[in-house]
Structure 1
Amino acid sequence: MPRPREPGNFLSTLLLLFASYLLLALGAVWLSRQPDSIATLWYANAFTVALLWDQPLRRWAALLGVAMLANLLANLAFGDGLILAASFTPPNLLEVGMAAALLRVSGAARRMNESPGAFLQFIFFGALLPPLVGASLGASILAWQGLDSFERGWLFWVEGSMLGAVSVMPLAVWLRQNGWWELLGERRRRELLVYGAVVLLVTPVSLLLLPFPFVYLSLPLMIAAVRLTFASTAVLVALASVCGGLIIALGLLDAHAPDQGWRDLLTYLPLLLALLPALLLASAVEQLRKRRRELTASETRFRDAMDHSAIGMALVSLDGRWQRVNRALCEMLGYGEDELSSLGFQDVTHPDDLAGDQALVDEILAGRRHSYRLEKRYLHKSGRVIWGLLAVSLVRDHEGEPLYFISQIEDIDRRKRAEERETELARRYSVATEASGVGVWEWDLASDRLLWDEGMYRLYGRADGSGELSYAEWHAHLHPEDAERAEREVMAARDGKGRLDIEFRIRRADGAQRVIKGHARLVCDAAGRPLRLVGTNWDVSELRQLAERLHDERERLQVTLDAIGDGVITTDLEGRVSFLNPVAERLSGWSSEEARGLPIEQVLLLEAEDARLVANPVRDCLAQGSAASLQGLASLRHPAGGTIALRGQAAPMRGGDGTLLGSVLVLTDVSEARAMQKHLRYAATHDALTGLLNRPAFEDALTESCREVLQNDGNSVLCFIDLDHFKGVNDTAGHAAGDELLRQIARLMQAQVRAGDQLARLGGDEFALILRSCPLAQAELLAARLIAQIQALALHWEGQEFHVGASVGMACIHSGNAQPAELLKQADTACYRAKHAGRGQFAVEHR
């Protein structure tokens, strides 16, 4: 797609169009006046269309006017009367305008050389349909003036315009979009010059000397279309058209009687058909080259991505052979690239994983799946086994036939080994826990002897004894820092002051330190006298370590929640608050302790922009069990007064088994961003000096007023206000004084208009006012009052007093006059009349 072209200098464009159209028209008219001339070769319209179609619409009138002036002058130059010369202007104007409009609206000019179909669309809209319409009008004028029959005039007009358009317009449009430098910068410039010389030689020779000349004429063009670019082919077609057209038009090819119009058509038609296939072929070849370049670029990108990827990648044939491998895969498997290319994936796959991998490959080839992922083992060149995560997809051609596989192999050997080690450790821990179990002990208070089972001996790392030991022996295992506390709690249990529930550290017989959890109950006789303590011990060292890690993680999480800039609130399943971090406390005005247990709606009172209450996303989150966001623009009503703009999202909290536990709501304060958006919206629609609407916003308001008038069949008035003698204030007192005067006048006018009226500063000392649903008589009274008050306003500046006046132009907005651009023009015209009538007045443009 060619890049959009910026509009050039308008004056130079006008001069270029005038000079080019005049020269091309003079040549065509001169040619038509020669003896034995068959028809006019009309290139001027095609050149104009190529120059006009992408120009801004506001320039079209001037460009078309200049082209038609050149058309008129060309006919007058050869002695035609003014009426006769002017009669050729309307059909040419219709033909040029229609072709440019069709090319612009359809976009066919921009897509011209993308494909043969796009080029045919371009020819239809630019070179076929407009000449048929223009020729109909032109032939009618010629027949009306008695200069020629309708059939002959229509035939000659069509063939001249169509040949000119097909020959010139593709090249001119291409140059318009890309420029001469890009054509001159093509790599095959010498070849283009050779083909140009061949075309200039073959065209007259084949037309004048050879039978079936158009076959020979089209041959170098078709060869050039394959060898050169579309633009170069268009240059050669233009050369062939000019050369061959001149020979045919001058009657050098074959002398026909003037009334043999259909034979003339059969003369020009082969020339046209000899040129058009070359352009179609050039368009197809250009698209093929583009696709080939894109394919090459895509293959290059894929090759670079594959070569530099940190993950092993390979292209694998349908029989499993490695076609291409990257460096990462070679390093992973320990082979060189040439070595891997001589192997298949079956050769480096662990035998136990080969059947499952091959079954998935067969499913892809059978069309039952598009891709698959698989963790499998590979055989390293050294013989060791390594784990890889394999992802495979199949590449098919445009007909759906399989071509090759793309494989991505990620080295996950470390992770799998770690998982195996973790599994083994877990198995060992389970076995150890099951084997050691819980140690059971009994302390006979009368004999001061302890009875331990085998589990107790394993817990304390002692060799199996008789099953009895003294209290002192047990006490010797206690960690010195825990001994006093443990003994105190044991004695309290022995004295019947409560059940024993204790955790303490011990030193095993092998020197290892463990954490033991102990429970015990006092057994008494019938009289209530203590007899013995019976209890259990078990090793909770791992649980203690886990608890400490969990405590550390909790502390880190708490610090994180306290430090982040967003508010975080957690709730239970009923939507009651359980926690607020400091930011959430600041936003809501509640402390975490005060809010705990309260419904989320009581802590967070959310409102929309219209003060309606907004549903809290926590409710949707708990009801649906999925994340929910705060909808629209919401604000939080702070208990201390005022609102805070928020953005929030709630997510469910789940336990390890997936059970829903509650929700987490994250809130972000976006007050500053929303205030900035409001400020930017205001700045985009208001004048910075006066605070009134600016011109774009006023034009939108005028468009809306016109729409309202059309819908309601009402009446409004547009006023264009231009200050009188304002330049003198700037020249005398400076722009600061002028700015102050503009602000005072803006405030004065704003105080006079109604609430629904639209007042704007269009720029400089020009203002505009829309009086909505206002009769013209009332608008005239308001205009007179504004003029009088502006004249009465005095600006006192640095010891001087300044006065200005105002002229007002008005246009009525009603259902028959509701075009914004036309209304502005009418109001401006009325203001111009008011100024030229003596200033300080108003005038009305009645439409």
Structure 2
Amino acid sequence: MSVGQGRNQPSPASPGNRRRILLLHLAMVGLFLLDLTLPRNVPLLPYYFLVVVLSASLATPRQMVPLVVQAYGLAIISGLYWGFLPSIDYATRLLALTGVATVALQLSAQRCRETALRRQSEQTLNLTFDNSAAGVALADASGRLLRVNPALCDMLGRDTQTLLTLSWPDITHPDDIALEQPLVEAMLANRRDGYRLKKQFLRGDGSSIWVDLSRSCVRGPGGHLEFFIGQGVDISAEMAAQDALARSEETLRHTLDQCSMGLAICAPGTGAILQANSKLCSELNLTPAVLKGSSLFEVFGALEQVSAEDAQSLTPVDQAPLESLLRGEIDCYGVRVRLQWAGFLRGWGELQLSNIRDASGAVRHVLLELDDITEIVAQTEYLQVAAASGVVGIWDWDPVHDELTWDSVMYQLYGVQPERFSGAVEAWAQTVHPEDRHFAERELQAAVRGERDYAIRFRVVWPDGSVRFIQAASRRFFDGEGRVVRILGVNYDVTELVQTQERLQTEQHRLGATLDALLDPHLMLGPVHDDAGSIVDLRILRANPAAAAYNHMALEDFVGARVRQFWPEHVVDGLYDRYLAVLSNGKPLVLDNFPLHHSQQGGLRHFDIRAVKVSEEVSVVWRDVSERIAMEEALERRATIDSLTTLMNREEVFTQMNRILADDQRRGGELGVLFCDLDHFKDVNDRYGHHAGDAVLQAMAQRIRSCLRESDLAARIGGDELLVVLPGLHGLPDALTIAEKLRRLASEAVPLPQGLVQISISVGVALASAGESPDELIARADTAMYTAKQQGRDQVVAIN
């Protein structure tokens, strides 16, 4: 299939074309025969040359010559047959038709030239199509592929037959279909003739490649789209390089931001800051937008140079070395500067500039490094002041030549006169306490071998026999082969610190012994942190024997347990959160009579708890007061309850009546009182004994309780006298209803070991009047009860 499919003409030498020319010859013979048979007055002369004209559309001039000769021959024969020749009119017609034949020959020649040029163009286009390094494809308006070149087949990893069964969307990555669809629709709508974009195509193995696609179209005479032409170049390597570059830039940005010192990438020559991390912005007290738009000259102009010997000596930063570095004349430049915020000194920094060159030696970037050395400067100043005040001694040892140099403070620390010190390690070793000498010399040799720094604590003996504690710290220096050639260090007297620590340890031992001897449980809780640093639990760090024994555990098993796991009830009852509050705010925790479920002790217990923060731990001591609380509650019950009937006693009911009278006055309710007295109770005692009388009183108390409301009160105020208090009544009928119910219950026989005992009660009913005291109210109810007695007992009588 050629690019111009449907526009090819048949070759003049093709069998089909030869058949058509033969048919024209036969048609001319047929026309001649027809001319002979028709009447003489029907001229057919022009039609002989009509065949010649028709042949111009399919024959070459050489193929037309026989037709022209045949046309002339047959026309002359016809003219002779009919007697038209040798007339001048017939000859004139033949001459005119000769012009027609000539024009036909010229048209045929022109058509042949155009056909040859078209075929040459199509061959060139087909060769270009098939041999193009870029992938090329033709597709119809629906997107179905019509033709593809080998380069596209190689690019997509598919053969030609497979691709020609697919459509344009079939080979497009799903992520890019929506991106390309509006462009295709615009071409179909004749709003654009082409587009270019970078998109992904699907390969035969399921992978994808990036392609730089240019797509155009061929339109018909009416403007309708006949087919698409797409050309693409594989840019997967370019896109991968761009992704790698983007990742590298992102990694660089991340590295810059994560770096502990201030960093910036600057342009060579101009010094323009291209990229800076947040640490540098913080050190210079500038926003990223301001810093990125500035240059090194502006940064240097805002800084002051600090002398390495004296941090207080300030001079403007010399910009001449900066200019030399930007011109590439030098590669490094460093200076110590002062850091300020809002005009106030914040610290000191070490500023370093370095040229970064490529393989050809050209400067690609300038690297700016700003390291905050405030702490180092402060330590240096401290050491200088300490050395000047005689606190810290500085020593310098050359292990290769065994030359030990001390400053003046070192002699004071060791109590040695300078003229008596030989300047060798052996002389120093003789001042070390005999018990520490071997250890000190061994550590010094380990430092010489490069195993570790020399930083130990040891004792020295002064000439007067006194002992001092010395702390050493040092730094090692190595040669090119990695051997230690110098050790520079400091010594300082820590005698008072050691003595203080010893006293502290003694106090800690004494405190530990005291806590272990305590009868009350005590423990220390420490926080347990997760990876984010949040407290997720509390761990038992130390405990006294009483704490372990209270929880029925061995001390070694108890220590190390976690509160949330070992005591989940602490979480439920809120005690765990209270411990966390002590840790966070430092306020002591004081809880008295705190109810807590304790599984090791079998249920709910009451505790007095004290907790205080000690450093980053919580000291907790508790005492189980459950028995004390139980005793107090029992005593309280005994003070308010009648021991025989378990009803209220006289004092408690009077107290409650005073409260109820005040409440009823506020709420508007009425208070009723039932004064109950057992009928012939003395006879029961005399006949059955006091135990039987007690049983009868207990039965009566139980019956009274069974028919009272929750708000009602019942009390025993005398031997066989019972009092019922009814708050919140609506009137006297309510009280009478309850009293009658009590009377009926009381009349039921009481079962005793001696048999059934029949007894009854007399009930007096009274409602409280305004301003009436409990004594006055009970007296009126008592009067009503006696009235019931006088009227025959086993009755309910109310009194106004």
TM-score (ref. length: structure 1): 0.40
Report 1 or 2 for greater relative contact order, CA contacts < 8 Å, sequence distance ≥ 6.
Answer: 1
TM-score (ref. length: structure 2): 0.42
Greater fraction helix: 1
